[in-house]
Structure 1
């Protein structure tokens, strides 16, 4: 398996396979610094969400860069992903949410817009209202897609059940599903489903929210691969593992060193078949989720 610098979506767009995740980064000065460093490093994808509350800071930084004297980076060079919050579910709210994100990001279009979670706020997990709300949200995204306000649409944290249900009401099938994925949460069934249905996959929490590389969770197999590949850090090994499975990765980083380290994986030699097999062998049953898991949402 080899890595690619882009992932092709069902509508023909090429999404960068490595981007900057910005979850938990709300301080405007920090967000602007991190985004600026990422773009100067070579990143072309910035991943945000309404619930992250940093879209405005990202928009300020992008506008500053695009309009800077002598800047070689233009809007068309950058892929922006944002997402609909659970509080924004439903046709009218979803439509307004995208317009609000466009204003905050100071852009005429968003490259990829996702329904962040299959559930709506303030409903019991087993409420049938969830389906109605997300179907309304999807209808809004389809209309905005047709209007060119969003260049591609998809979902996040959807299970195979939620995706299968979409076939009953979606005129346009989701182009991306963004979910947690790492060796303890390999999402094998979900990956197969997405591949069979032309849905690209983006992995978040590739490092297990840091637990897989900071010593909180011991992975002898990862240590063995790291011993064979001294040119790669454990974080780079985990990112490479995901990239070689054909998914996009969006690791978070706040320091210039980490931003560069993550980006450098694109220029490294890929993992051997044995390395991949060893990491696959970590597989945890049941899968270990460090973040959201929507299996209980009706």
Structure 2
């Protein structure tokens, strides 16, 4: 990827409303210095921010967004326009159900001080208080998806999707006779130690963008000897290598960092490519190792 146009990917490509989404965004889960990181990120070209109701930071993000969107003396005197930004939030496992999801969305929108969201996701396939093998999970998921479809149809959100969905969860959703809108995106834990090849291929075959969170395996891969050797070979840092690896697989990425230098470094991943042998070498590191909860336990 060597030009600016390739910093974007098309969501809803199979629908009548395709939209451009930045491939790289700022992850905010447990992000401490959130105001400073978002401010500096926006000043340095970032236009995408990922959050969720359960992160408990939407109000903080909303304040800095309002400041950066409305201020006229920032970014060399240029105002950031709302339409330049791509903001994602998520409906948590505590907010499943039609009415609950609609209420949760409106609360997120209010905290973020926005008129609409660019993407809204079901955060987890399970429901709080239900065992993983409880059929109620499936029933509640379906009701939540109806709420997301309603929000999309009412133009309160530009795209809708899911997070932590397995192939089984996606098959259930896609085969539903009541389905009106297909999910545009599935955000999952994806990195060389958890290379979900079958899920990746399934999503590609169904025009669903797979988005990687924890692309650096919670930092475990930064000091991995194989990763360090390969990063030297391409003349990039381990984090740049790992983010580029996800992009080579057609994934989008939302790395999180409290380090301003790393924030800027993470943005420098669009002027080089990885050879197929390097990608395959990283694929072979797979151990099906997760650092977050495994959604396959939810029916």
Query: One fold, TM greater than 0.5?
Result: yes
3-state SS of 1:186 partner: coil
Moved over 6 A (4+): none
Q: Which position in structure 2 is the counterpart of 1:13? A: 19
User: Structure 2 matches for 1:71-220, cutoff 5 A?
Assistant: 71-167=78-174, 168=176, 169-213=178-222, 215=223, 218=224, 220=225
Matches of 2:94 and 2:215, distance apart in 1:
26
8 Å contact 1:79–1:111 — kept in the other structure?
A: yes
Aligned match for 2:241, one of 234, 237, 242: 237
Scaled by the length of structure 2, what TM-score is found?
0.93
1:188 Cα shift? 0.5
1:64 Cα shift? 0.3
Matches of 2:237 and 2:232, distance apart in 1:
10
1:281 Cα shift? 1.9
Q: Which position in structure 2 is the counterpart of 1:64? A: 67
1:92 Cα shift? 0.6
Matches of 2:243 and 2:182, distance apart in 1:
27
Matches of 1:290 and 1:177, distance apart in 2:
18
How many residue pairs match? The answer is: 287
Matches of 1:283 and 1:145, distance apart in 2:
36
Structure 1: unaligned runs, 5 residues or longer: none
- Residue 262 (structure 2) pairs with residue 258 (structure 1): yes
3-state SS of 2:269 partner: helix
Matches of 2:179 and 2:213, distance apart in 1:
25
What are the superposed Cα offsets for residues 46-91 of structure 1, whole Å, 9 maximum, x if unpaired?
Answer: 0000000000110100000111123421110110010011100111
CA separation of 1:49 and 1:239: change in aligned 2, threshold 3 A: same
- Residue 296 (structure 2) pairs with residue 295 (structure 1): yes
3-state SS of 1:295 partner: helix
Mean Cα deviation higher: 137-146 or 68-77 = 68-77
Matches of 2:147 and 2:275, distance apart in 1:
44
1:2 Cα shift? 8.2
Structure 2: unaligned runs, 5 residues or longer: none
The CA RMSD measured in Å over matched residues stands at 1.4
8 Å contact 1:2–1:244 — kept in the other structure?
A: no
8 Å contact 1:7–1:246 — kept in the other structure?
A: no
8 Å contact 1:7–1:247 — kept in the other structure?
A: no
1:204 Cα shift? 0.4
Mean Cα deviation higher: 49-58 or 164-173 = 164-173
